[in-house]
Amino acid sequence: MEDGEQREWGAKAWTYLSSVRSLSPLIQCITNFVSMDLTANTLLSAGASPAMLHSPNESPDFTPQVNALYINVGTLSDNWLPAMELAAQLASKLNKPWVLDPVAAGASRFRLKACLDLISLKPTVIRGNASEIIALAKASFASTKGVDSSHDSTDAVEAAKSLANSSGAVVAVSGAVDFVTDGNRIVGARNGVPMMQKITATGCAVTALIAAFVAIDPSHAMETTASALAVFGVAGELGMETARGPASLRTHLIDSLHGLDQTAVISGVKITAI
């Protein structure tokens, strides 16, 4: 029974990945400096077309052309925040899906407020780790440990539902199990390997992949989000088979994402309703 459900999810994930490959959605990425390389390579390997254009001088011309927008606050500064806000406003106004990665949301009051302001601009999806989602749900600046989570993803399920309900976004929490909720339903994705957390920006990269998947079918943000998380995790599992450490895992993960075939996706994706 559960096996049948997983197969259905696998088939769904394969359909989305195939569409990303054939339609090559254009994804505007306003993301942090650390993650730009891995993010662009993740999108390219999945078949999408990344464009790291961020300037407020350009978004009025450029955002109307894109299929989705990805905003990540990792190396936030007061220079970049208006660029993020303008692009998010444009995306919302144009009914284009946009996805937020609230990196280290609780690390400072400035950052927390920036994330909450961005959330008021109606992201389609928010993906963070447990500490980030809890900080946002409580709207509280707390001593999280930098960009790494000090909570398990299971700790954040209620916070995620609450944030989904208050924001209208689908909320995803990454961890040993990834959770995705629209405030009502919850699904869990159990793909990936622990060593992925030893590679910088894998969280940022998978959020960008979510943007590419959501671009394919914006009215099913929960399904596309769960699928992107699982597909990235499957690529990590395959990459781990020959990895000798975090750096070779990174290489193999991207290679695997590029080469994923139907069998690997359908048999590998582990998504279930909770």
* Closest distance of CB 182 from its own copies, Å: 30
* Closest distance of CB 32 from its own copies, Å: 7
Question: Per rule CB under 8 A, is residue 148 in the interface with its own copies?
Answer: yes
String marking each residue 185-204 x if it binds its own copies according to CB under 8 A: ------------xxxxx---
Q: Taking the CA atoms of the chain, what radius of gyration do you get in angstroms?
A: 17
Which of 109, 140, 176, 241 touches its own copies (CB under 8 A)?
Answer: 109
Span 115-144, contacts to its own copies by CB under 8 A: 141, 143
Length of the chain: 274
Which of 253, 264, 269, 271 touches its own copies (CB under 8 A)?
Answer: 253
Stretch binding its own copies (CB under 8 A), from 28-36, 115-123, 155-163, 168-176: 28-36
Residue with tokens 């406003």: 89
* Closest distance of CB 153 from its own copies, Å: 18
> For residue 238, what are the β-bridge partners?
none
Stretch binding its own copies (CB under 8 A), from 3-11, 183-191, 221-229, 247-255: 247-255
Question: Per rule CB under 8 A, is residue 74 in the interface with its own copies?
Answer: yes
Question: Per rule CB under 8 A, is residue 23 in the interface with its own copies?
Answer: no
* Closest distance of CB 138 from its own copies, Å: 16
Report residue 226 CA to chain centroid gap.
9
* Closest distance of CB 162 from its own copies, Å: 24
Question: Per rule CB under 8 A, is residue 145 in the interface with its own copies?
Answer: yes
The closest alpha carbon to 211, from 30, 79, 85, belongs to: 30
227 near 191, Cβ under 8 Å?
no
How many other CB atoms are found less than 10 A from the CB of residue 213? 32
Question: How many residues belong to the site for its own copies (CB under 8 A)?
Answer: 66
Between the CA of residue 94 and those of 66, 83, 98, 109, 126, what are the distances in Å? 10, 17, 11, 30, 19
* Closest distance of CB 14 from its own copies, Å: 18
Structure tokens that stand for 85 in this block: 């806000």
∠ Cα 264 256 149 (to 5°): 100
* Closest distance of CB 176 from its own copies, Å: 17
Q: What is the DSSP letter of 124?
A: S
Residue with tokens 């259905």: 8
The closest alpha carbon to 72, from 45, 110, 46, 33, belongs to: 33
39 near 31, Cβ under 8 Å?
yes
Using CB under 8 A, list all residues that contact its own copies: 26, 28, 32-34, 36-38, 40-41, 44-45, 49-55, 57-58, 60-62, 65-66, 74-79, 83, 104, 107-111, 141, 143, 145-148, 197-201, 243-248, 250-259
